[in-house]
């Protein structure tokens, strides 16, 4: 145990140098996912037939293919048609587009769970459909979606590790490098696992606090 | 005329709910629509502000026809009070009342809140301003939703069975608020079986059956000397119980 602690202390700084990359990748991707997910959810609920169809095909494609395949396609496939990204940007786009599909579905479910009378009452006041959605429906749906969104956020935080496959030097890539330098794979992956557990626990706690803070009786 | 309802027809699928309904309302009038359930009363009310757009017929408010284009501005003149209140769950009572003026009438936040407190006072709910809807009783929720309607300073308020979801002991507080509004000169179109309100506050009672108006007149006439057998039978039921 103390041998492992010594190992961990020695290599932790190098691994943690990748932390800004991991967190930056995660936050950027989640933000893209939230914005795009909201648009997709709107399209799937209120969109006319073509808009609904486009959003549905998007969701099915991005939920129906592995994220690693999506990332490799963006990083290695797209350059063939002249679209080139650096590894980090490609990873952000891949994870962002992927989580958008999931976030859209969670949000769609949450919007659907808001009683229809809320929209009717907003429209009866004289709000347009979009205004009623943003001022009345969305604030309720967002509160209801927090538990599922937390799951998604934690999942994606761990998924940032697959960016290592296209050469992003986030924390998992750094751990692997240490492994090949020291041949202490057991120790180094135990270390990296511990780092992920700490990060995901903190995120889970923060989101639980948020959920409590915005809670409203009856919602 | 403040409101003109012209030959409204409405079907759901193959079932024709409204079969040509027409009436008018002058400013300050209160009318109560009564009739057996399934007869199209609530549908008619929903047609008046196009929550359910009529298949045929026209609605005029202050001479202007209600269309799909002017819907949102016209609805600000025609408020709606729902049977099941439909207060906005995530907003405190005062915010429920303030949101209309704030988002639709261009009020500043503080002006909207001032107006909201004033309207809550009018319905006797000042002390519950900071509560969420789920923390209010049914009667309080309905009074709050009336305050929300009032904050739009509408020309007309439509009430869709405002006391039907309430326990008998809670209907009184809602009816007394409605009585007060009628006496203050608010124009009100009310679907309700509250005979007490109809007798006291209504200028006219409309009796509907089978998607049509079959009798209308001042409450004294309609309740004391109904012309139609169906009206008489129905009134007998709601006043004394028994089979229609």
Quickly list DSSP for A152-218.
Answer: HHHHHHHHGGGGGGGT--SHHHHHHHHHHHH--HHHHHHHHHHHHHHHHHHHHHHHHHHHHHT--TT
State the pLDDT at residue B244.
Answer: 43
- Residue B201 predicted with pLDDT over 50: yes
Question: Which residue, among A125, A130, A211, A216, would best test binding to B if mutated, counting the most B CBs under 10 Å from its CB?
Answer: A125
DSSP class of residue A133? I
State the pLDDT at residue A42.
Answer: 94
Instruction: State in Å, rounded, how far the first CA of chain B is from the last one.
Output: 35
- Interchain CB contact of B144 with A (< 8 Å): no
Mean pLDDT of the residues in chain B: 94
Beta strands in B36-167 (DSSP E): 56-61, 64-65, 78-81, 156-160
What's the rounded mean pLDDT across residues B196-225? 93
Residue B18 CB contacts under 8 Å (≥ 6 apart), including other chains:
B8, B9, B10, B40, B43, B44, B47, B54, B211
Please report residues of B whose CB lies closer than 8 A to that of A122. 88
- Strands B30-34 and B64-65 turn out to be unpaired
CA–CA separation, B172 and B175 (whole Å): 5
Q: What DSSP element (H or E) covers A104? A: helix A87-112
Using CA coordinates, name the residue in chain A closest to B132.
Answer: A217
- Interchain CB contact of B130 with A (< 8 Å): no
Q: Are B126 and B157 in contact (CB under 8 A)?
A: no
State the pLDDT at residue B241.
Answer: 61
State the pLDDT at residue B238.
Answer: 81
Q: Is B132's CB within 8 Å of A218's CB?
A: yes
Write out pLDDT tens, residues A54-74: 999 999 999 999 999 999 999
CA max distance for chain A: 69
Beta strands in chain B (DSSP E): 3-12, 15-25, 30-34, 56-61, 64-65, 78-81, 156-160, 188-191, 204-209, 212-217
- Residue B240 predicted with pLDDT over 80: no
- Interchain CB contact of B137 with A (< 8 Å): no
Which two structure tokens, joined as six digits, stand for A27?
Answer: 């936050």
Distance from CA of B80 to the nearest CA of A (A): 6
- Residue B243 predicted with pLDDT over 60: no
Using CA coordinates, name the residue in chain B closest to A117.
Answer: B86
What's the rounded mean pLDDT across residues B110-124? 97
- Residue A219 predicted with pLDDT over 90: no
Q: Is B75's CB within 8 Å of A125's CB?
A: yes
Distance from CA of A145 to the nearest CA of B (A): 14
- Residue B210 predicted with pLDDT over 60: yes
CA–CA separation, A217 and B12 (whole Å): 36
Write out pLDDT tens, residues A7-60: 989 999 999 999 999 999 999 999 999 999 999 999 999 999 999 999 999 999
State the pLDDT at residue B176.
Answer: 94
- Interchain CB contact of B132 with A (< 8 Å): yes
pLDDT bracket for residue B169 (50, 70, 90): confident
Question: Which residue, among B89, B116, B119, would best test binding to A if mutated, counting the most A CBs under 10 Å from its CB?
Answer: B89
Global confidence as pTM? 0.89
In our burial notation (b when 16+ CB lie closer than 10 A, e otherwise), range A160-169 reads bbbbbebebb
What's the rounded mean pLDDT across residues B7-13? 95
Q: What is the ipTM of this complex?
A: 0.93
- Residue B32 predicted with pLDDT over 70: yes
Please report residues of B whose CB lies closer than 8 A to that of A124. 49, 51, 75, 79-80, 82
What's the rounded mean pLDDT across residues A131-159? 96
Write out pLDDT tens, residues B130-143: 999 999 999 999 99
Q: Give percent above pLDDT 90 in chain A.
A: 96
Q: Is A118's CB within 8 Å of B86's CB?
A: yes
């Amino acid at each position: 145990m103390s041998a492992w602690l010594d190992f961990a202390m020695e290599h932790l700084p190098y691994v943690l140098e990748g932390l800004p990359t991991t967190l930056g990748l995660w936050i950027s991707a989640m933000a893209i996912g939230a914005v795009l997910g909201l648009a997709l959810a709107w399209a799937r609920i209120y969109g006319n037939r073509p808009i609904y169809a486009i959003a549905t095909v998007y969701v099915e494609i991005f939920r129906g293919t592995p994220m690693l395949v999506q990332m490799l396609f963006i990083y290695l496939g797209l350059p063939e048609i002249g679209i080139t990204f650096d590894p980090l940007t490609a990873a952000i786009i891949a994870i962002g587009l992927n989580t958008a599909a999931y976030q859209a579905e969670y949000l769609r479910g949450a919007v659907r769970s808001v009683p229809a009378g809320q929209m009717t009452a907003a429209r009866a006041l004289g709000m347009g459909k979009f205004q009623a959605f943003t001022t009345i429906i969305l604030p309720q749906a967002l509160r209801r979606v927090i538990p599922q969104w937390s799951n998604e956020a934690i999942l994606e935080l761990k998924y940032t590790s697959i960016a290592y496959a296209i050469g992003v030097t986030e924390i998992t890539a750094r751990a692997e490098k240490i492994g090949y330098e020291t041949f202490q794979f057991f120790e180094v992956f135990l270390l990296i696992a511990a780092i992920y557990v700490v990060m995901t626990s903190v995120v889970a706690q923060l989101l639980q606090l948020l959920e409590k803070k915005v809670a409203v009786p009856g919602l | 005329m403040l409101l003109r309802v012209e030959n409204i027809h409405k079907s759901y699928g193959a079932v024709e709910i409204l079969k040509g309904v027409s009436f008018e309302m002058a400013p300050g009038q209160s009318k109560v629509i009564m009739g057996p359930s399934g007869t199209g009363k609530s549908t008619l009310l929903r047609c008046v502000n196009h929550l359910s757009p009529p298949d045929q017929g026209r609605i005029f408010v202050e001479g202007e026809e209600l269309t799909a284009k002017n819907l949102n501005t016209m609805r600000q003149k025609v408020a709606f009070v729902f049977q099941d209140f439909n207060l906005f769950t995530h907003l405190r009572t005062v915010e429920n009342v303030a949101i209309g003026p704030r988002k639709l009438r261009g009020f500043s936040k503080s002006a909207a809140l001032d107006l909201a407190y004033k309207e809550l006072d009018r319905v006797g709910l000042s002390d519950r301003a900071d509560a969420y809807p789920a923390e209010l009783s049914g009667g309080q929720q309905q009074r709050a939703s009336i305050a929300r309607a009032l904050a739009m300073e509408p020309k007309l308020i439509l009430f869709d069975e405002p006391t039907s979801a309430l326990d008998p002991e809670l209907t009184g507080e809602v009816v007394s608020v409605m009585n007060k509004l009628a006496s203050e000169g608010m124009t009100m179109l009310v679907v309700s079986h509250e005979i007490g309100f109809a007798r006291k506050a209504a200028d006219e009672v409309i009796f509907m059956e089978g998607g049509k108006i079959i009798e209308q007149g001042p409450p004294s006439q309609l309740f004391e000397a109904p012309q139609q057998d169906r009206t008489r039978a129905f009134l007998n039921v709601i006043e004394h119980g028994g089979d229609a």
